[in-house]
């Protein structure tokens, strides 16, 4: 059977270099292009790439995706910075390229995806919830894409359960002291030398605290998820938001 032809964008970065290694070591995949900042996107078509893995920067990812979708190249995207407007734009590009699939994965870590899944399940049982994400100090965005997605999923579950706003008597605070408000869920971002990527979801109710925590100890931890995305995206046209859709979690 012929191998799936895969390109990595952001190939010299922390995640991209790890993805280059992982694709190179996979028997069913062929690494056909390694692109860095300033490299020509036409290399993707010239090398016959079928799937492009984007691990670049929020400022670069949309141009990369527009090129890929226009040329029928499937996308597996770990880069952060996806607003509702960006997702809508991506959907219009995909509508013009039937058969092409793009996976946007806020987090490729299997445990991180499970944390989001379990947080969504727990949300309706607790009066209070706050998200704390902790990352290395080189990270460009705050809060993390994973934390934003986690908070959005929790907020949706709370709304579906018709829970009221959380109790919070704060009437005076230093700016930022209560974190960022993501759909009513406070999200706090820590940047600390020595960390890689970590998240806690704290649930509270009368007399009990329930904590979900996930730790990525190195970037190799994201690679099984990246490879799963690459293998599944070619058979999944349109936009897929979240790796959980490729994990058969309800099965
Ligand atoms: N979804 C997930 O599981 C994960 C996502 N990330 C996200 O992935 C992105 C990259 O993270 P890191 O590897 O830590 O960053 P990094 O800064 O180490 O690497 C990014 C690389 O992309 C390159 N680049 C920038 N613009 C480019 C362009 N137009 N074309 C090709 N290359 C370009 C940069 O020169 C750099 O080498 C970030 O948005 C980060 O939040 C990071 C870890 C896990
Ligand atoms: O920049 C990172 O490192 C990470 N970014 C992603 C995010 O913003 O959620 C995923 C993971 O947390 C690592």
* 153 and 94 in a common domain: no
- The pairing of strands 238-241 and 101-104 is parallel
Asked if the structure places residue 149 within a domain, the reply is: yes
Asked, for residue 232, whether it belongs to a domain, the answer is: yes
**What phi and psi, each to the nearest 5 degrees, are found at residue 58?**
-55, -30
Pocket flag, ligand 1, residue 57 (CB < 6 Å): yes
Q: Residue 202 belongs to what domain range?
A: 110-217
* pLDDT reported for residue 1: 79
Catalytic annotation on 139? yes
Ligand nearest to the CA of 199: 2
Residue 251 falls inside a structural domain: no
Structure tokens at 106: 């806020």
Residue 53 CB contacts under 8 Å (≥ 6 apart), including other chains: 6, 7, 8, 9, 16, 19, 23, 75, 76, 77, 78, 226, 229, 230
pLDDT at 96: 97
Specify whether 134 is located in the same domain as 184: yes
Q: Which residues are annotated as a binding site for NADP(+)?
A: 37
Is there an atom of ligand 1 within 6 Å of 229 CB?
A: no
Token representation of residue 12: 């010299």
Tokens of 128: 């209070």
* CATH, residue 82: 3.40.50.720
Q: Based on the fold, state whether residues 149 and 169 are members of the same structural domain.
A: yes
Nearest C-alpha to atom 35 of ligand 1 is from which residue?
Answer: 37
Using most ligand atoms within 8 A of CB, pick from 56, 195, 196, 226 the residue to mutate for ligand 1: 56
- CATH code at 156? 3.30.360.10
Nearest protein CA to atom 2 of ligand 2, as residue: 139
67 and 144 housed in the same domain: no
At 190, is the secondary structure helix, strand, or coil? strand
Q: Is 72 in the pocket of ligand 1 (CB under 6 A)?
A: no
* 100 contacts 72 by C-beta, under 8 angstroms: yes
**Tokens linked to 98:** 């039937």
Co-location of 116 and 213 in the same domain: yes
Q: Is the CB of 135 under 6 A from ligand 2?
A: yes
Distance 33 CA to ligand 2 centre (A): 23
Residues 182 and 193 both lie in one domain:
yes
Q: Report the alpha-carbon distance of residue 48 to residue 80 in Å, rounded.
A: 26
What pLDDT shows up at residue 237? 98
Residues 94 and 132 in one domain: no
User: Could you tell me if residue 184 is inside a domain?
Assistant: yes
Domain for residue 211, yes or no? Answer: yes
Interface predicted TM-score (ipTM) of this complex, two decimals? 0.98
How many domains is the chain built from?
2
Q: Which residue numbers belong to the known binding site? A: 10-15, 34, 37, 78-80, 105-108, 136, 145-146
Instruction: Encode the chain (251 residues) as per-residue pLDDT tens digits.
Output: 799 999 999 999 999 999 999 999 999 999 999 999 999 999 999 999 999 999 999 999 999 999 999 999 999 999 999 999 999 999 999 999 999 999 999 999 999 999 999 999 999 999 999 999 999 999 999 999 999 999 999 999 999 999 999 999 999 999 999 999 999 999 999 999 999 999 999 999 999 999 999 999 999 999 999 999 999 999 999 999 999 999 999 75
CA distance 149 to 71: 29
* 83 part of a folded domain: yes
- Of the candidates 135, 188, 198, 214, the residue annotated as catalytic is 135
Residue 237 Cα to ligand 2 midpoint, Å, equals 25
């Amino acid at each position: 059977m012929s191998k799936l032809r895969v390109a990595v964008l952001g190939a010299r970065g922390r995640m991209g270099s790890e993805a280059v290694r992982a694709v190179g070591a996979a028997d069913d995949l062929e690494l056909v292009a390694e692109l860095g900042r300033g490299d020509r996107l036409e290399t993707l078509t010239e090398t016959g790439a079928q799937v492009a893995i984007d691990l670049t920067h929020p400022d670069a990812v949309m141009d990369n995706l527009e090129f890929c979708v226009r040329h029928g190249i499937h996308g597996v995207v770990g880069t952060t910075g996806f607003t509702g407007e960006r997702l809508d734009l991506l959907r219009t590009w995909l509508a013009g390229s039937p058969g092409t699939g793009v996976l946007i994965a806020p987090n490729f870590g299997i445990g991180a995806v499970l944390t989001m899944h379990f947080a969504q399940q727990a949300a309706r049982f607790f009066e209070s919830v706050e998200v704390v994400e902790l990352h290395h100090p080189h990270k460009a965005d705050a809060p993390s894409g994973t934390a934003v997605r986690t908070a959005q999923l929790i907020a949706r579950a709370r709304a579906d359960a018709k829970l009221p706003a959380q109790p919070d008597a704060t009437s005076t605070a230093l700016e930022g002291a209560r974190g960022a408000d993501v759909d009513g869920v406070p999200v706090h971002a820590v940047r600390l030398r020595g960390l890689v990527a970590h998240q806690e979801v704290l649930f509270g109710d009368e007399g009990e605290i329930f904590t979900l925590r996930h730790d990525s100890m190195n970037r190799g931890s994201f690679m099984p998820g990246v490879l799963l995305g690459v293998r599944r995206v070619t058979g999944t046209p349109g936009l897929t938001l979240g790796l959980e859709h490729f994990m058969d979690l309800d099965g």
